[in-house]
Each structure stands twice: as C-alpha cells, then as structure tokens.
C-alpha cells in the first residue's frame, strides 16, 4: 500500500545518472467488448462480483517500477483496484472475471518487464491474522485491565492482546483458523465480569459498515421482509437486525452498493409505509455515548448519595454540638440505642447497599477471577465501618450500659466522595479524547449530490446527508463549504484549506484532476468532485483510526505501573489489617496513654479507623491512569498539529532520540525533480529540442523522465495534455537512459556512459556542464540526435525551505544529524554541505541504510530515521523511531512509528519536543501517584499520631484517594496547552507544494 501512497522517489538512488528501468511503450487503454454500451457495461459489472488476486512480482527496484506495473494493470478492462507493494514484491488486484482473468493480468505484468506469479489464496489465508476491537465496560483500575488481558491471552489462537484502561477498549490479534468467531472473545470478557461491545471484528475485506433506523415497522415479519430484501442486494456481506431498537447494521462492499441504495430498498419494500434513515450518531453504542452515559450515571449516583449522606453528616458532626437538637438525637429508643444512631443506620443503608452496589459487584467479579482491584479496597473499607456500626447499634439496643460509637457517616461519606471522584475522573478522561471528537466533527453534515447526463452536464442537484455519499458520486462543493468526501476534481478551480487534516495553513490550489480530502475547507471557487473513498476508507477515518490505535497502545513505561498494581491491592489489604492489629494490640496492652483515645471512641474503634483509612487512601487508579491519559492527550495534540504518533511505544522512544538519520530525496529535498538548466550544442529551436526528447521520455515512468516531460509541456501551453510525436523502436537501458526513433531521428537521452557506449563524442562544453551540475547537487543528462551531441540538461531536486534551519535547531537540542542516500557522493556532499550535515553516507541501497541505523544503535545512539516510507522502509523499521515525512493524506502506516503529514522538517522537531513534554507529564504523574501513596498510606496508618495527635478520618482519606486520580488526569490535560518550540515560530518553513 505504501508504494501506491508514497510514490515519490528513488530519484537519488543511482550513482551514475538516471536509472531508466525496463519499460514498455504502453498501448492505448484496451476497450470493452465492441458495441457494449455504458449501461450494458454497468449491468455486467453489477451482476458480477470483484475477485481478489495476489501476484508475486520479481525485479522491481523502486517506486517507479511499482508505478509502471500498477498503471499497466489498471489499463486493463474490468480492474476495480490494483495496489503494488515494492517492499514485499507483491501486487494485489481486485478484478471482474467477466472482463479479465488472472492469466491476462500476469501477462500484462510480464509485458512491463517483470516476472509475475499468482499466489494461492488458501496459502495467503493460512497466514492471515485478524484484529478485533472491543469496548469494555466496568474497568476501574489496572488490575481489571490486567485480568482481562490474562483471560484473553489464555485463549488458544490469540496472538496479542492490548487492553487500555483510559480508552476502555481492547485490541485482540487472533488467528481466525483457531478462534472461530469474535463471539468467543466477547464471551471471555463477559465471563470475567465486564461488559463487552464489539467495535470491529477485523473480518471485513474492503468493507464499510453502516447502521440504519427503520420507522413504520410494526411486526417482526416486516423486519424479516426488509432483511431479505437487503440481503438480496449485490455487495451485502452481513446484516444484523435489532427489532427493539428498529435498527439494521450492515457490512457491505462500497464499490458495489451504498447507503442510498439501502434506504431506497427499505422504502420500496412492502406497501411503501417504511421509512429508512441513518441511525442517530452514537446510537450504536459509540464511545462518546457510553462516556456520556457513564458521566450521567456517576452524577446521578453522587446526587442520590448526597441526599442520604448530608443528613448523616449533620446528625453526627453538627447537630451534636447544638444543645436543643442534641437532646432530641440523644433520646433513647431501646436501652442505649438513641434516635441519632437509628436515623443514621436507616439513612446509611441505601448508600451502602443500593448506591454502593457497584463496588460489591466489581469486587465479586474481580475476586472470582483471582484478582483484586480498587472496588475490593472500597468494599472492605466501607463494610468495615458499616458493619461495626451495626454491631454498635445492636449492642446498644440490647444493653443498658453500653456506650459505643457508630461510624455510619464514615461509610456513607466515603462512598459519596469516591463517587464524586469517579464523576470528576470520567469527566476529565472524556476531555483527553477530545482530539478524536474534533477530527470526527470535521466531516460536513450535508452534501450537494449532482446527477449528470451522458455528456457530463448537470441534470439535477440534491441536498443529502453526507453519510449517504457512495463511491463514484459527483458532489458539488460551494465556496465556504467543507469537502464532503475524498475524491478528485472533475470540474472547477479553487483553493482548499487543508490545515484541519494536514496542519498546513496555506491554502492549496485545486483544479481538474487534483485530489481533495474530506473535511477540508473550500475557500473561493466552485468544485465538482468525484467521490473515491467514502466511509471507513476516507483519509479522515484513517487518521481517526490511527489516533485511536495510538491511544490504545501501551507505552513500555506503563508496564512498571502494571507490575506494581498486580501486588498493590493485596499489599494494601495486608497492611491495613496489620495497622488495625498493631493499634488494637497497643491499646489492649496499654502501649500508649489512654489520653490519646478521643472521648467519642475506645481503643478498638481508634484502631479500626486507622485500618479503614489505610484501606481507602491507597489508590491504584492514579498509577493506572498516569501513562495512558498522558499518551491520549499527547497523541491527540500531535494529530491536531499534523504529527500522527502511533502510540506510547513511539512516544517513549522519541523522547530519548539523540541521533537522526535523514534520507535525502523527498526528505531534505522536495522529492520532485525539475529541469533547472538547458544548454544546446547545435542550432535548433528549444521547443523542437524538447518535443523530441519528451516524445522519447514519455514512455518512461521514471521521476527524471517525468521532470523532462513536465518541463517540455511549458512550451506547449495551449494544450494541457499534448500529443507528442510518435516514438518508434523505444529501448530502455537500465541505469543509463533511453533511446528511440522520433521523426526519423535517432534520439538518445541518458548519462555519460550511455553516450560513450554509442561512440558519440562528448564536447568539452558538455563535460564542463556535467561537472558543474554535479558540484551543485544536480543530475546532468546528455542528449544526442542522430549520433551527434545536441544538448545537456541539468535536473535538480530542490532543497526544502527551512531545511538548514531545522538541522541547526536539532544541533541545539543536542541531536546528531546524519544523511544516508542512494545518490552519488558529489550530489550527497553538496546537499550535506548546504544543510549543515557533516556525516554523510552516499550510494547506499535500502538494506545498507538499515545496516547504518543498526551500526549507530550499536554505538549507543537512540536513532530516529526520517524518510519517505518506501525505499527507506527497512531503515524505518530498524530505527528506534521511524518517521515518514511528506506522507500527506496517504499515510505510510506500516513502516513508520510517527507520520509527519506536512511535507516539512519542522515537524521532526515538533514530534521529538512533544514526546519529551509528554514524558515529562508522565513522570510528573508517576511522582504524584507514587508519592501520594508512599506519603498517604503511612499518615493514614497513624505514623504522625503519637507526636502530633494528627490522624486522617476514613472519609477524608477517601476524599484524598478520589482527588489523587483526578489530579493525575488534570496533569495530563495540561498537555492540551502544548506549544511547539518558540525557535520554530521564527522559521518560515511551510508545506511544499508542486504545481
């Protein structure tokens, strides 16, 4: 995929001039069977199903090779999609068997000059691993997430499990040959005592999903009828019906069908009384809906607990000091049981068992599976206070001289403060994922759908919900409106502000043929675009998925917290019991003066309060939230600035980086070569000269050839796609150049060795120009006409603006910069000198770049590799941090750890600085979480009591515990105010745009 997405270049990999690899002169696009109309063709396609095929393609050396293979395949009739992966030497093709077959595709690849072999699909399927994402409800701390991970990991066939506490999601990699269905995974989570909702099963191949609401349905028969009608549609893969919610969930192939078709089928079924629409956003159990529900639930529980707790607090802490009222509450009901005691018992019971039921449920589920979480601590602490109080009340009711004290206010206030803390925590955690919400909000609500006739004229316009856009729809984008879908312009000119997706502020000019990204803002002209990627295929959806995956992935530093939390709760329980026992025995055997015991309690009750305080002040939540919340905010902030960080591992490695290896082409340079100088050696018109060499080079897919053809077009301004003279006997000489017969003249375009091989004399002027070009980091190309030197071209890949300043800033950050390129030493040294890089490795093959990275790592460096994600992929993978630069909207997800969406170098600095700032906040979180527990637990245990008489009542300890989690999340939220280094504000580095 990366080959298709990032096909910029291997211009610089050759050591001796241009590499014009074997290419065939492409024939014109083959036609569909003669006489077949557009309508007949559409019917034929609709009646057949696209079939996937994977070919092994040998002989590809660069993205230009992959591009030529892909282009040749796509020119065949009946090809739906073709993606060529130069790294793995594979071509994946989706085709319609009624028009083309595997043999024809294989022959076409071989015609381009490469070996092709069809790969058996069964063999491919045997090695496939699927990814399933599940939302999990009910986790409270890392003990919960660890228990779920262990349960899932125990399933045979599960390869890898990630459970994220902060996002409340699990991502499971499993072998579908062993784990028959994702239902097995859901059941395991449910058996562990937690709620589980499937987000995505990973079973779909090029599928989209949508949820529809059906109104007017009165019977199950009607729903079944609608289901059968939808099931009959081509492209439908899976349907799930929820009769109670009147909801239909569909998985479908977006190339074959779409949501408007579904709604039409629903409304045409039966007596046309049904009405279909997109299911309300979030209605399908989305993360935000779940979060809002959780916030409301905690808020409601907290308010109800206050209703009971405030009177309990007043009767035990306030009214007892008001003489008249004190007498009323001290009135005895039965023996020594007073009105106040009875009232507090009655009021605290609903708080303990109804409002606090969640803690019992959570404790039971955790203990049933052999783990202990925060719920266990809360349940033990509140039960200790409550049941001792019940004992005191019953003892008072049965005795005429018992003077016990109850702690009903302790359990009630504990539960109230913990609920308040959880409410504030969930509220704050919701803000950590605001970045995703903002990204999703970029998509416009409505779109203008155009209906065109056979000549391409607009027949009608219709406002539709943007979620109803289907592939190949034509959409009208008016000035000031957001682009409704990924696609390409088929009519109109405008400037589009893509900053919301790429972070690049400068508007980008768009005209016919240019691609546009859904969610970006059209500034001035009217555009007609053809939708190419809709729903889950869109760039916006890909970015959202990348950020979600990043927030799900754990940073290695989090393993530290996971290890601690595994033993934390058992340790606290033991220490709490030991604290109670120590104080109880000390009181029993007069280990401290009786004056230490408050008048309202005895030694047992004092010891009990110390034990309960230790139980409830300990907070495993703060430790569990320290890393994931900071990673969530950090990755979200990065996404808003055009820096997509693939999770905690990338963040942790990036903050340690002290050496950066830069590729040259497309990284330090723009990556698109341009002709910068021409010297004619014989009298002829420059236009005629360029017509001859453009006619020769137009058959080549090489970047240098494209640069020459592009420059030649400037002499034919009257025609955007000029017809060049016919080239006969075209021949490509690998690594040297091309030759052909044009207008009965023999044209040779290539490097010095190619000219000398044909016994053509190179004049001194040409030799001088070649040397001068190499000294200026340019590629010199010689042109001969009929065996005589006719001219010399100098082609340059210009340095990116601000590259020198960016390298200088990295030096000030104590980061070593190295350039590794496949280009020749002369060009490499010239570029290195210009940007200020002293260490240079030139004429390096992709595997040699990876070896250089490993060599630096062996020397003790933490290495980041910055490249374009294609030829640099081995090095990107080998590096501690791989950064794909200039990826634009097509993200090199596979190789890179960090994707820099803007085509500039300042984001390398931003990525490293952001990772350093994020890890500063993670360290702060750990210092606070550990420091809080290390200080809080001894104070709660009464370490200060002998010297200062200071003790923490259990309800204050509970409030402190709740506050610790909130403080950790708030510390992470401070990252939202991250500003990139001020040094960058003085730079005029902007995204590179090639017109």
- % of the chain exceeding 70 in pLDDT: 83
Q: pLDDT by residue (tens digit) across 273-315? A: 788 888 775 434 456 666 777 888 989 999 999 999 999 888 8
For residue 833, count other CB atoms closer than 10 A to its CB: 12
Q: Please check whether residue 279 is in contact with residue 285, taking contact to mean a CB–CB distance below 8 angstroms.
A: no
Residue 717, pLDDT score? 63
Residue 657, pLDDT score? 93
Can you tell me the mean pLDDT for 888-901? 61
Residue 284, pLDDT score? 40
DSSP state of 466: G
Q: Which residue has the higher pLDDT, 259 or 43?
A: 259
Whether 992 shows a pLDDT value over 50: the answer reads: no
Report the C-alpha gap between 91 and 52 in whole angstroms.
Answer: 11
- What 3-state class would DSSP assign to 725? coil
Can you tell me the mean pLDDT for 655-659? 92
Kindly give the pairing relationship between strand 494-497 and strand 508-510: antiparallel
The confidence band for 914, taking pLDDT boundaries of 50, 70 and 90, is very high
Can you tell me the mean pLDDT for 733-742? 80
- What 3-state class would DSSP assign to 330? coil
What is the pTM (predicted TM-score) of this model? 0.64
Q: Which residue has the higher pLDDT, 990 or 681?
A: 681
Can you tell me the mean pLDDT for 417-440? 73
Q: Which of 27-31, 329-333, 713-717 has the highest mean pLDDT?
A: 329-333
The confidence band for 433, taking pLDDT boundaries of 50, 70 and 90, is low
The confidence band for 787, taking pLDDT boundaries of 50, 70 and 90, is confident
Kindly give the pairing relationship between strand 816-820 and strand 659-662: parallel
In 3D, which of 629, 613, 563, 587 has the Cα closest to residue 922? 629
Residue 921, pLDDT score? 92
Residue 768, pLDDT score? 87
Q: pLDDT by residue (tens digit) across 829-866? A: 888 888 899 888 887 777 788 888 889 999 999 999 98
Residue 800, pLDDT score? 81
In 3D, which of 383, 314, 312, 378 has the Cα closest to residue 345? 312
pLDDT, the chain, mean: 79
DSSP state of 799: B
The confidence band for 180, taking pLDDT boundaries of 50, 70 and 90, is low
Q: pLDDT by residue (tens digit) across 385-421? A: 888 889 888 988 888 877 777 778 878 888 888 888 7
The confidence band for 367, taking pLDDT boundaries of 50, 70 and 90, is confident
Catalytic residues: 663
Q: Please check whether residue 109 is in contact with residue 72, taking contact to mean a CB–CB distance below 8 angstroms.
A: yes
The confidence band for 503, taking pLDDT boundaries of 50, 70 and 90, is low
Burial of 38 per CB tally in 10 Å (0-12, 13-18, 19+): exposed
Residue 566, pLDDT score? 74
Report the C-alpha gap between 930 and 917 in whole angstroms.
Answer: 20
Q: Which H or E run contains 522? A: strand 521-522
Burial of 463 per CB tally in 10 Å (0-12, 13-18, 19+): exposed
Q: Please check whether residue 624 is in contact with residue 561, taking contact to mean a CB–CB distance below 8 angstroms.
A: yes
Q: pLDDT by residue (tens digit) across 130-147? A: 778 888 888 877 778 888
Whether 890 shows a pLDDT value over 70: the answer reads: no
Cα Dmax for the chain: 126
Residue 9, pLDDT score? 33
Report the C-alpha gap between 962 and 524 in whole angstroms.
Answer: 52
Whether 780 shows a pLDDT value over 70: the answer reads: yes
Whether 905 shows a pLDDT value over 90: the answer reads: no
Extended strands (E) in 341-485 = 446-452, 458-465, 474-477
Can you tell me the mean pLDDT for 952-967? 79
What does the H/E/C string look like for 807-844?
HHHHHHCCCEEEEECCCCHHHHHHHHHHHCCCEEECCC
Can you tell me the mean pLDDT for 244-255? 79
Residue 677, pLDDT score? 87
Q: pLDDT by residue (tens digit) across 685-737? A: 888 888 888 888 887 766 788 888 888 888 876 555 677 888 888 887 766 78
Report the C-alpha gap between 783 and 781 in whole angstroms.
Answer: 7
Residues in Cβ contact with 793 at an 8 Å cutoff, skipping those fewer than 6 apart: 675, 677, 678, 708, 780, 781, 783
Report the C-alpha gap between 874 and 882 in whole angstroms.
Answer: 10
Whether 788 shows a pLDDT value over 60: the answer reads: yes
Whether 44 shows a pLDDT value over 50: the answer reads: no
Residue 719, pLDDT score? 58
Q: Which residue has the higher pLDDT, 16 or 400?
A: 400
Secondary structure percentages of the chain, helix, strand, coil, to 5: 50, 20, 30
């Amino acid at each position: 995929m990366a080959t298709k997405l990032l096909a910029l270049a291997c211009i610089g990999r050759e050591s001796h001039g241009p590499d014009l690899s074997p290419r065939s002169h492409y024939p014109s696009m083959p036609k569909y069977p003669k006489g077949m109309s557009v309508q007949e063709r559409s019917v034929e396609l609709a009646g057949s199903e696209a079939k996937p095929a994977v070919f092994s393609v040998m002989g590809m050396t660069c993205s230009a090779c992959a591009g030529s293979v892909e282009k040749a395949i796509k020119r065949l009739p009946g090809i739906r999609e073709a993606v060529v992966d130069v790294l793995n030497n594979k071509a994946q093709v989706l085709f319609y068997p009624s028009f083309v077959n595997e043999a024809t595709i294989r022959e076409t690849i071989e015609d381009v000059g490469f070996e092709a072999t069809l790969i058996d699909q069964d063999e491919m399927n045997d090695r496939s691993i699927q990814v399933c994402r599940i939302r999990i409800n009910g986790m409270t701390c890392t003990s919960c997430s660890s228990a779920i991970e262990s349960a899932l990991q125990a399933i045979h066939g599960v390869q890898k499990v990630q459970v994220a506490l902060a996002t409340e999601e699990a991502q499971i990699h499993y072998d579908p040959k062993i784990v028959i269905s994702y239902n097995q995974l859901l059941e395991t989570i449910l058996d562990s005592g937690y709620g589980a909702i499937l987000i995505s099963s990973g079973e779909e191949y090029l599928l989209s999903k949508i949820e529809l609401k059906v109104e007017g349905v009165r019977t199950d028969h009607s729903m079944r009828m609608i289901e059968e009608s939808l099931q009959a549609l081509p492209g439908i893969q899976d349907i799930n019906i929820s009769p109670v919610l009147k909801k239909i969930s569909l998985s479908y192939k977006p190339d074959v069908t779409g949501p408007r078709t579904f709604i039409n089928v629903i409304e045409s079924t039966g007596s046309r009384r049904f009405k279909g629409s997109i299911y309300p956003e979030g209605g399908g159990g989305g993360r935000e809906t779940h979060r809002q529900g959780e916030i409301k639930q905690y808020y409601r529980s907290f308010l109800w607990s206050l209703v009971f707790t405030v009177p309990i607090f007043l009767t035990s802490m306030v009214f007892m000091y008001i003489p008249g009222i004190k007498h009323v509450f001290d009135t005895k009901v039965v023996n020594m049981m007073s009105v106040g005691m009875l009232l507090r018992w009655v009021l605290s019971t609903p708080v303990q068992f109804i409002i606090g039921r969640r803690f019992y449920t959570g404790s039971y589920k955790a203990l049933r599976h052999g783990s202990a979480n925060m719920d266990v601590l809360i349940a033990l602490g509140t039960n200790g206070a409550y049941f001792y109080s019940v004992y005191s009340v019953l003892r008072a009711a049965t005795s005429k001289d018992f003077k016990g004290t109850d702690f009903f206010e302790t359990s009630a206030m504990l539960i109230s403060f913990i609920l308040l803390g959880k409410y504030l925590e969930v509220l704050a955690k919701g803000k950590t994922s605001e970045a995703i919400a903002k990204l999703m909000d970029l998509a416009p609500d409505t779109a203008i759908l155009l209906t065109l006739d056979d000549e391409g004229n607009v027949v009608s316009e219709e406002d539709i919900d943007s979620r109803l856009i289907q592939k190949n729809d034509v959409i009208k984008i008016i000035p000031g409106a957001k682009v409704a879908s990924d696609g390409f312009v088929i009519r109109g000119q405008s400037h589009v502000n893509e900053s919301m997706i790429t972070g690049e502020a400068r508007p980008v000019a768009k005209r016919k043929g240019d691609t546009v990204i859904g969610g970006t803002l059209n500034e001035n002209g009217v555009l007609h675009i053809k939708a190419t990627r809709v729903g889950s295929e869109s760039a916006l959806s890909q970015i959202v998925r990348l950020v979600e995956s990043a927030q799900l992935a754990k940073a290695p530093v989090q393993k530290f917290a996971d290890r601690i939390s595994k033993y934390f709760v058992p340790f606290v329980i033991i220490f709490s019991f030991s604290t109670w026992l120590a104080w109880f025995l000390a009181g029993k055997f007069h280990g401290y003066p009786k004056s230490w015991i408050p008048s309202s309690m005895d030694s047992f009750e004092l010891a009990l309060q110390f034990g309960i305080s230790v139980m409830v002040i300990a907070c495993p939540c703060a430790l569990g939230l320290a890393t994931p919340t900071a990673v969530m905010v950090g990755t979200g902030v990065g996404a808003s600035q055009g820096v997509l960080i693939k999770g905690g591992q990338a963040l942790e490695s990036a903050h340690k980086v002290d050496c950066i290896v830069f590729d040259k082409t497309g990284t330090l340079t723009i990556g698109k070569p341009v002709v910068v100088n021409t010297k004619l050696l014989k009298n002829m018109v420059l236009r005629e000269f360029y017509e001859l060499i453009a006619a020769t080079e137009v058959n080549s897919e090489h970047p240098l050839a494209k640069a020459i053809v592009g420059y030649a077009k400037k002499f034919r301004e009257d025609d955007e796609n000029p017809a060049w003279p016919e080239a006969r006997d075209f021949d490509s000489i690998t690594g040297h150049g091309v030759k052909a017969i044009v207008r009965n003249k023999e044209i040779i375009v290539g490097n010095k060795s190619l000219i000398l091989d044909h016994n053509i004399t190179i004049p001194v002027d040409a030799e001088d120009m070649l040397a001068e070009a190499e000294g200026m980091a340019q590629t010199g190309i010689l042109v001969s006409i009929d065996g005589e030197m006719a001219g010399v071209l100098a082609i340059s890949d210009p340095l990116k603006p601000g590259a020198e300043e960016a390298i200088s800033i990295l030096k000030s950050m104590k980061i070593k910069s190295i350039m590794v390129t496949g280009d020749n030493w002369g060009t490499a040294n010239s570029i290195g000198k210009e940007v200020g890089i002293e260490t240079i490795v030139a004429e390096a093959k992709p595997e040699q770049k990876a070896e250089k990275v490993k060599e630096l790592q062996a020397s003790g460096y933490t290495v980041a590799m910055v490249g374009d994600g294609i030829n640099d992929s081995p090095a990107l993978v080998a590096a501690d941090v791989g950064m794909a630069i200039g990826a634009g909207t097509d993200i090199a997800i596979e190789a890179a750890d960090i994707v820099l969406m803007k085509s500039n170098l300042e984001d390398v600095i931003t990525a490293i600085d952001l990772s350093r700032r994020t890890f500063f906040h993670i360290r702060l979180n750990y210092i606070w979480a550990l420091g809080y527990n290390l200080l809080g637990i001894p104070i709660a245990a009464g370490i200060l009591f002998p010297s200062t008489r200071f003790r923490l009542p259990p309800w204050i300890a509970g409030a402190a515990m709740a506050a610790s989690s909130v403080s950790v999340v708030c510390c992470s939220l401070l990252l939202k105010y991250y500003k990139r280094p001020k040094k960058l504000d003085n730079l005029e580095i902007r995204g590179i745009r090639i017109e």
